[in-house]
A and B are shown apart, each in its own frame.
Chain A
Amino acid sequence: MTTLFIVLILTFITIAIWQMIKIFDLSKAISGVKVDDSQIANDKDNTTQAKLMLGFLAFIYAITIFSLVKYGKFPLISNAASEHGAQIDTLMIWTMVLIFIVQTITQFLLYFFAYKYKGSKKSKALFYTDNHKLELMWTVIPAIVLTGFITYGLLTWSDVMNMQKNDDPMVIELYAQQFNWKARYAGNDNVLGKSNVRLIDIDRANILGVDENDPNGQDDVITTELHLPVNRPILFVMRSQDVIHSAYMPHFRAQMNCVPGMVTKFTFTPTVTTEEMRQNPSMIDKVININNIREEKSEELALKGEEPLDPYEFDYLLLCNKICGKSHYNMQMKIIVETQEEFDNWYNQQTVFKNSLIAQN
């Protein structure tokens, strides 16, 4: 209903403004003032519009400052929870600085010139067609600045994407299907058993299509939560059984699509445990803020006789970030980063693949 009211009000405002303009014009016509109805801007229009141009510049600056203040405190381009994440964040900050400088200057020039050189009957524009020096300047300067950013970006990219063989990463498969995630750990041999969707046998609970005869697969562990030991490089091997999904782990600055029919890879080293991230001051603020919002919402729900929302506690998440069907918006998996000891405890409680199969006669 609110929306209906908003739209109605907006429509009425528009109509009202239009009517006011009409009445204004009419009253001028009646009072005998010569009305300029050429519908071409005259000096008065130019003056008004020029002022509005300046006003709009102020609006752009205001919305920029507002956004920076309001959203700047979100832990987004800081507090990366992975080793390479910090590198990406630094690059991001430098790029943002560049963008904000260029944006502020160019928008100023654009709207200020629009304001300053507003037209009038008396004045005439300067006939100024070319200036090769100027043009060379704003070709060469962006080219130099960009060369710097391209080089910096490419170095970061190759650092992130090139897996170091000697890192001895722990191998984990991320398996996507409409609409949930599974993780498969490679076990003590750190080698995943061969797999193909053609080997899926629901009756035997072989849901990921792991080759039952492959010795490497026997000790694999399939889970619905992703536990990661801190400070250990992880090699993610990704598969999808139906459509394209994307494994998005924003806190680790990690993302890779899961494509049916092929295997994709991404490596990162988590550096902050879930517990540590929960103690991070900006994360504490964020969680308090979210819980306040949830409490308010719960009160509203209580009035309607519905169940209140659970309080929120921070957890790393793996989200699906490629449109994949109806429940795309709810395809997630919890990620828990913990110490090696905690990880081992958890891992030892899991059932290995060969024991998870249901025997059939």
Chain B
Amino acid sequence: MAEYIEFDKDHHAHHHKETFITKYIFSQDHKMIAKQYLFTGVFFMGIIGILMSALMRMQIAWPEEPNIFFDFLLGKWAPEGVMDADIYLALVTMHGTIMVFFVLTAGLSGTFSNLLIPLQLGARDMASGFLNMVAFWLFFVSTVLMVASIFVEAGPAAAGWTIYPPLSALEMAQPGSGLGMTLWLVSMAFFIASSLLGSLNYIVTVLNLRTKGMSLTRMPLTIWAFFVTAIIGTISFPVLLSAALLLIMDRSFGTSFFLSDIFIQGEVLHYQGGSPVLFEHLFWFLGHPEVYIVLLPALGIASEVIATHARKPIFGYKAMIISILAIAFLSTIVWGHHMFVTGMNPFLGSVFTFTTLLIAIPSAVKAFNYITTLWKGNIQFNTPMLFAIGFVSTFITGGLTGIILGDSALDINVHDTYFVVAHFHLVMGISALYGMLAGIYHWYPILFGKMMNKNLGYIHFWVTAISAYGVFFPMHFIGMAGLPRRYYTNSNFPLFDDLADTNQIITMFALMGAAVQLVFLYNFIYNIFYGKKAPQNPWKSTTLEWTASQKHIHGNWQGKIPEVHRWPYDYSKPGYKEDFVPQHIPLKKGEEEY
């Protein structure tokens, strides 16, 4: 029963001849596009992002000391191996941009939404394969532009990933705000176009291409998460596009949307009547939902992985869906909590405090439901499961400090300190990363038809987990000691001298965490070629992707598409010999669905 269902093997309805270019480059097949996102978004950009954070951490731990890596990697920006202050800010900016947008938005959603939406819903492909291809190539252009911006004469954008004007608007304020910022903005315009096309495609596919029997309440939680993520993306990304366009106009055509009354380098500029706070509102109107665009897919993946490897239905399926929807709704009305101290009306601050702290409720529901899913499970500690448990752990640790930051009165003193850095890295950075890694380990057999080495996976997880807590746990405390973020060095403040040793410890953990990713990289690449061939359904999972043809064919299933008769979490259901019942197995007579 559990094995691969041979639907009519000779039927090759959707298989047509493909050239190298249509198969590997301008592919319209969702599985190939998922891999393209994986390699461009996650691996290529991920490596750049991690390297940047390693450079920053070394600078913070051993400030203004010559460093062989700086000499080697930064060249003229590190004269005699000492990092330049401008390039430190550029690293901060590019690390943030690359990680948030390229790795955790496009990389995460692009890979898993593309791979899983058709496969788990029982669809031959996305609603529009062509649009999907265009979305990827727009993303690729955006990647090329963003990477190119690192190499321009005056350096890349350096105004922080939030690019608040006037710093980002005026070349006199900072060299990175010249060509580097122009490329950043153009790259983001392409990125947003890509993201919108991708999201629309996901939404349409989920609404229209579900196989027979796949009602909305029989969809795996992964699909629910991707679906809602796509909706938030379509609502909020256009606002960033408008902000970026207005900023481009301020920069290049002399308009004054965000600028007013500026005296810089001995001259008064002509700008009048604009407001940087307006930009902050527009930016965070995307910026906060963006956090959930990053987090929700990871939540979805964790739900799926935890249920599968605990051999137990996800606890409170409907509550999980409702909490995803609640989080998504709330995420669009809390952006002001990034702006408590911008001079925004204090009453508005109260409203945003209220809505922000409400998010803790659906989040608590999710955390407790995960924990209850583990209770009385039969937990199989495969690598994806480790990362999924790690995800729940960092989601809780990171999420709890949100109660401090979301509280306007408390935010006054920890705003823009390392406390914030610790909070968001744990709750969205590390959590989303864990979700993504869980996903890669879990669906690697689908992606490449091979198994990853489990022992290397274990090493990868435990070293990463220790590093993540080692880096971000102490960081909360140096933030509470008042250390501002984005400082090139703290040596001008003797007040913070007693934090220097902590910063060195943090850097050690960070370098350890970065280094162990090489193990993952090796495990990933080696096994594509030399890995053990994966069985059809190695994790004994119930969802449809494990019934699809293992050899990647256009159309996913040879012959007919499977029909769905039950919800996706029939693990260890009484009355069955096996501890899982796939979705396409009809209900027995008198059997209740759940």
Output the least CB separation between B229 and chain A (Å): 23
One of A227-235, A251-259, A346-354 contacting the partner: A251-259
Q: Mark A258-301, 1 if CB is under 8 A from B, else 0.
A: 01111011000000000000000000001001100110000000
Task: Choose one: A46, A255, A256; the contact of B381 (CB below 8 Å).
Answer: A46
Task: Choose one: B85, B354, B367; the contact of A150 (CB below 8 Å).
Answer: B354
Q: Which residues does chain B contribute within 8 Å of A146, judged by CB atoms?
A: 357-358, 360-361, 403
A107 touches B393 (CB 8 A): yes
Task: Choose one: B386, B416, B486; the contact of A248 (CB below 8 Å).
Answer: B416
B594 touches A118 (CB 8 A): no
Cα A330 to Cα B482 in complex, Å, equals 15
B532 within 8 A of A: yes
Output the least CB separation between A181 and chain B (Å): 14
Nearest neighbor of A150 in chain B, beta-carbon distance: B357
B482 touches A328 (CB 8 A): no
A125 touches B341 (CB 8 A): no
B412 touches A254 (CB 8 A): yes
B563 within 8 A of A: no
A88 touches B410 (CB 8 A): yes
B255 within 8 A of A: no
Cα A162 to Cα B453 in complex, Å, equals 60
Given the known inter-chain contacts A14-B519, A99-B403, A329-B85, please indicate yes or no for A198 contacting B268, CB distance below 8 A: yes
A260 touches B85 (CB 8 A): no
How many contacts between A and B, using CB within 8 angstroms?
416
The A-contacting residues of B in range 445-502, CB under 8 angstroms, are: 451-456, 458-459, 462, 465-466, 469-470, 473-474, 476-478, 480-482, 484, 486-490, 492-495, 497-498, 500, 502
Task: Choose one: A7, A129, A139, A202; the contact of B317 (CB below 8 Å).
Answer: A129
A185 within 8 A of B: no
Cα A267 to Cα B329 in complex, Å, equals 35
Q: Which residues does chain A contribute within 8 Å of B350, judged by CB atoms?
A: 154, 157-158
B381 touches A312 (CB 8 A): no
A138 touches B341 (CB 8 A): no
Q: Which residues does chain A contribute within 8 Å of B539, judged by CB atoms?
A: 40
Q: Which residues does chain B contribute within 8 Å of A256, judged by CB atoms?
A: 341, 343
Q: Which residues does chain A contribute within 8 Å of B385, judged by CB atoms?
A: 41
A10 touches B512 (CB 8 A): yes
B511 touches A3 (CB 8 A): yes
Q: Which residues does chain A contribute within 8 Å of B160, judged by CB atoms?
A: 323
B374 touches A290 (CB 8 A): no
B421 within 8 A of A: no
Given the known inter-chain contacts A76-B480, A99-B401, A153-B410, please indicate yes or no for A109 contacting B277, CB distance below 8 A: no
Task: Choose one: B69, B403, B417; the contact of A4 (CB below 8 Å).
Answer: B69
B67 touches A3 (CB 8 A): yes
Task: Choose one: B62, B266, B378; the contact of A3 (CB below 8 Å).
Answer: B62
Given the known inter-chain contacts A242-B263, A328-B486, please indicate yes or no for A119 contacting B498, CB distance below 8 A: no
The A-contacting residues of B in range 317-369, CB under 8 angstroms, are: 317-319, 341-343, 346, 349-350, 353-354, 357-358, 360-361, 364-365, 367-369
One of B133-141, B167-175, B214-222 contacting the partner: B167-175
Q: Which residues does chain B contribute within 8 Å of A154, judged by CB atoms?
A: 350, 353-354, 408-409
Nearest neighbor of A200 in chain B, beta-carbon distance: B263
One of B1-9, B104-112, B182-190, B308-316 contacting the partner: B308-316
Which among A52, A124, A317 has the highest number of chain B CB atoms within 10 Å? A124
B371 touches A157 (CB 8 A): no
The interface size of chain B toward A, counting residues with CB under 8 Å, comes to 143
Task: Choose one: B365, B473, B522; the contact of A63 (CB below 8 Å).
Answer: B473
B312 touches A126 (CB 8 A): yes
Task: Choose one: B167, B367, B535; the contact of A323 (CB below 8 Å).
Answer: B167
A188 within 8 A of B: no
A110 within 8 A of B: yes
A126 touches B486 (CB 8 A): no
Given the known inter-chain contacts A14-B518, A56-B465, A260-B260, please indicate yes or no for A327 contacting B458, CB distance below 8 A: no
Nearest neighbor of A254 in chain B, beta-carbon distance: B412
B179 within 8 A of A: no
Given the known inter-chain contacts A67-B473, A158-B346, A328-B89, please indicate yes or no for A321 contacting B416, CB distance below 8 A: yes
B579 touches A125 (CB 8 A): yes
Q: Which residues does chain B contribute within 8 Å of A142, judged by CB atoms?
A: 360-361, 364
Nearest neighbor of A315 in chain B, beta-carbon distance: B495
A326 touches B86 (CB 8 A): yes
Nearest neighbor of B403 in chain A, beta-carbon distance: A95
Output the least CB separation between A107 and chain B (Å): 6
Nearest neighbor of A202 in chain B, beta-carbon distance: B266
A317 touches B349 (CB 8 A): no
B68 within 8 A of A: yes
The interface size of chain A toward B, counting residues with CB under 8 Å, comes to 133
A10 touches B452 (CB 8 A): no
Given the known inter-chain contacts A52-B462, A63-B473, A294-B494, please indicate yes or no for A149 contacting B276, CB distance below 8 A: no
The A-contacting residues of B in range 415-463, CB under 8 angstroms, are: 415-417, 451-456, 458-459, 462
B494 touches A290 (CB 8 A): yes
Q: Which residues does chain A contribute within 8 Å of B410, judged by CB atoms?
A: 88, 91-92, 95, 153
Which among B318, B349, B494 has the highest number of chain A CB atoms within 10 Å? B494
Q: Which residues does chain B contribute within 8 Å of A124, judged by CB atoms?
A: 311, 378, 572, 579
B89 touches A88 (CB 8 A): no
Nearest neighbor of B266 in chain A, beta-carbon distance: A202
B404 touches A39 (CB 8 A): no
A102 within 8 A of B: yes
Nearest neighbor of A242 in chain B, beta-carbon distance: B264
Cα A126 to Cα B462 in complex, Å, equals 28
Output the least CB separation between A71 and chain B (Å): 4
B571 touches A125 (CB 8 A): yes
Q: Mark A310-334, 1 if CB is under 8 A from B, else 0.
A: 1010100101111111111110100
B494 touches A312 (CB 8 A): yes
A59 touches B466 (CB 8 A): yes
B412 touches A88 (CB 8 A): yes
B315 touches A128 (CB 8 A): yes
B262 touches A110 (CB 8 A): no
A110 touches B452 (CB 8 A): no
Nearest neighbor of B501 in chain A, beta-carbon distance: A293
A167 within 8 A of B: no
Cα A107 to Cα B277 in complex, Å, equals 39
Given contacts A138-B365, A142-B364, A197-B261, 8 further A-B contacts (CB under 8 A): A70-B502, A76-B482, A131-B315, A139-B361, A256-B341, A257-B341, A314-B495, A328-B89
**Selected A-B contacts with CB under 8 Å, 24 pairs:** A4-B68, A41-B381, A45-B381, A67-B473, A74-B481, A88-B413, A95-B407, A99-B400, A110-B374, A114-B389, A127-B313, A135-B316, A135-B368, A138-B368, A139-B365, A142-B364, A149-B407, A153-B357, A200-B263, A250-B482, A259-B277, A261-B274, A262-B275, A319-B484
Query: A residues within 8 Å of B by Cβ?
Result: 1-4, 6-7, 10-11, 14, 17-18, 21, 37-41, 45-46, 48-50, 52-53, 56, 59-60, 63-64, 67, 70-71, 74, 76-77, 87-88, 91-92, 95-96, 98-99, 102-103, 106-107, 109-111, 113-114, 117-120, 123-131, 134-135, 138-139, 142-143, 146, 149-150, 153-154, 156-158, 160-162, 177-178, 196-198, 200, 202, 209, 238, 241-244, 246, 248, 250-251, 253-257, 259-262, 264-265, 286, 289-290, 293-294, 309-310, 312, 314, 317, 319-330, 332
Query: B residues within 8 Å of A by Cβ?
Result: 58, 62, 67-69, 85-86, 89, 92, 159-160, 164, 166-167, 170, 173-174, 259-264, 266, 268, 271, 273-277, 310-313, 315-319, 341-343, 346, 349-350, 353-354, 357-358, 360-361, 364-365, 367-372, 374-382, 385-386, 389, 392-393, 396-397, 400-401, 403-404, 407-410, 412-413, 415-417, 451-456, 458-459, 462, 465-466, 469-470, 473-474, 476-478, 480-482, 484, 486-490, 492-495, 497-498, 500, 502, 508, 511-512, 515-516, 518-519, 522, 532, 535, 538-539, 569, 571-574, 579, 594
Per CB-CB distance, the 6 closest pairs between chain A and chain B, nearest first, are A261-B260, A264-B343, A49-B381, A250-B482, A71-B477, A161-B346
